[in-house]
Structure 1
Amino acid sequence: MSSAASPTPSSGPTPPPAAAGPVSLCDREPHVPADRLVAEMVPPPRFDGVRFDNYIPDPAQPSQAEAVRVLRGFAASVGAPGEGGRRRWFRRAPAAPAAPAGPTGVYLDGGYGVGKTHLLASTWHAAPAPREQKAFGTFVELTNLVGALGFQHAVQALSDHRLLCIDEFELDDPGDTVLVSTLLAKLADAGVKLMATSNTLPGKLGEGRFAASDFMREIQGLSAHFRSLRVDGEDYRHRGLPAAPAPYTDEEVTAAASGVPGASLDDFGALLDHLSRVHPSRYGALTDGVSAVFLRGVTPVPDQGTALRLVVLADRLYDREVPVTASGVPFDEMFSEEMLRGGYRKKYFRAISRLVALARDSGKVVAEGR
């Protein structure tokens, strides 16, 4: 009987399979079908749990408590009998009853970090209309929707809604402002209630009454639909908190990323180059499934186009509560003094505020990854 060679016995326990390393955002080229755009117009994960009850007004700023009071009433009016929907496009409505109490639209006027998005999302959550009849998105997401669907199809897609909430209405792009204002006029005629926050125009940082007057002027004939609510206060992300945390070293960033499941790891310069090839409407999808972002070698951004793309990415990361760990310069040194004095400065201040908050969140992630 011939003897078959027997397997060589193992000299020790079988080693576990190598853990998958961090992904690279630069390897991703997401595509978002147009038919998903409307369905995904809901408050982002960071604002899933926000409500009027967990918005804590600053006792030193009475306008905050007043905004909550007014917005509770506004939310309750959404979906009231005789309100909203495409139905009025297709059949003659009965004689109109007395106008419902409260404005048909609300604009939140205030600086960054005072909780305007919290209040906007709280209104969306509190409105009694069905989820599929409420939409929530940024101004950029709304313009992307129009670009993907076409103007008329966008009107049709949104006119069934009872509430549209728009965050960061862009007043510094005249073409897009006119486009969206025209869209909102169509939706208001269809009975959709509107709520918005906005950026200020160049040279007006929004600490006075400039934001409200600029908003009303730029939306032209829509101003009659909006009541302006002032929300005063300081940036809550910096109330009593330290400045941007000190960056890590390249080696610390790389080592920590390897120990965090679902992490991404990229060189900052390579990521900026990649962002120039991905449409900003896809930056959210770019981070799908990413639990934490790790960046090596953060430097001051070289030009305004790059800076504005970085602002959009910062917004998407902040919305999704994705902590950011980085080496290089601190996040509050990324934008030049010239940028911070220019027409887009409010966007840059918002990006700094949000990235600093995400950098603070990264401390626990780094400790767990070690």
Structure 2
Amino acid sequence: MADRIPSSAEIRRWRRYLADEQAEAAVYRDLAGRRTGEERDILLALAEAEGRHEQHWRTLLGDNVGAPRKGAVRTRFLGFLARRFGSVFVLALAQRAESRSPYEADVDATDAMAADERIHEEVVRGLAARGRKRLSGTFRAAVFGVNDGLVSNLALVLGIGATGVPASTVLFTGIAGLLAGALSMGAGEYVSVRSQRELLEASSPNPDTQSALPHLDLAANELTLVYRARGMSPEEAAQHAEDVLRSVAMATGSIGVTAGGAPATDVVDEHEAIGTGMSAALSSFCFFASGALLPVLPYLFGMQGIAAIIVAATLVGIALLGTGAVVGLLSGAPPFKRALRQLAIGFGAAGVTYFLGLLFGTELG
């Protein structure tokens, strides 16, 4: 760019890129400040990479750098969240921000910069995946619980309300639905998670089996059967069993080896991913109850008729949009589309029961 004078439009665009790079580097540094170990090092490396991109735009701008500018609103919002929370939500948002990089279509950005942004998206995706894994058990129960509460109790309240029964009947029906659904969700989630954990435990190697290793008949080598049962070929199983038995004398052998030969530590990760039965049950109960309460609120405050139905539907609609957006953010999908999908599903189910209530109300009347 030294052989020509950049246009005003180019200068504005470069300044915007410069401000965005500065803001993104600040986000990664803020996130790094709330972490330790490998995650901290990775985030600081990302901030350093953004600093290289920042220098590229400074070089192009030269004397036209001008006064410091603020980055894009979404980037500054990310920085605000990173400084105060540093959660997986911020990483999920950062992942989407990296995926929207304009560098591939900008002739003034280098191919290396465009490639960096692609890789940054995958790096942040990997960091976010760690947080998603830690959240997955309890979060799954929470999301399912609140959405079931919203949709099922809205459908119940609208269906009963459409029949023309007194508001008090609708209120007590909604409260009964709240309690019944919350207890059912909590109990069902507890049984589901406990059953899943018990299946994992049944498939996990028994550590006590290691005590039998020194006493195995080396000629028969029953250990070979263990590895064949886990998927190895007879030749691989024989070799692996021989290696394990050879290492017993040095106290390094372990029966708890997977079919691929790696230590059986992944089972622990699977247990962590599904969470505990009690935490999942409590999440389901509380979130179902909080979701199921919204359709009942208008009746609790004395509203009735069509006005109560409209308010209930509005409250639930806002909540459905919110939960859909949160799920979209955590999954790396477009939050607006997920929010609309959630709203459409919830209102579709409630609409069916409302019209059935109208039909039954007309026949009874």
TM normalised by structure 2 equals 0.18
Richer in helix (by share):
2
Richer in strand (by share):
1
TM normalised by structure 1 equals 0.18
Larger Rg belongs to: 2
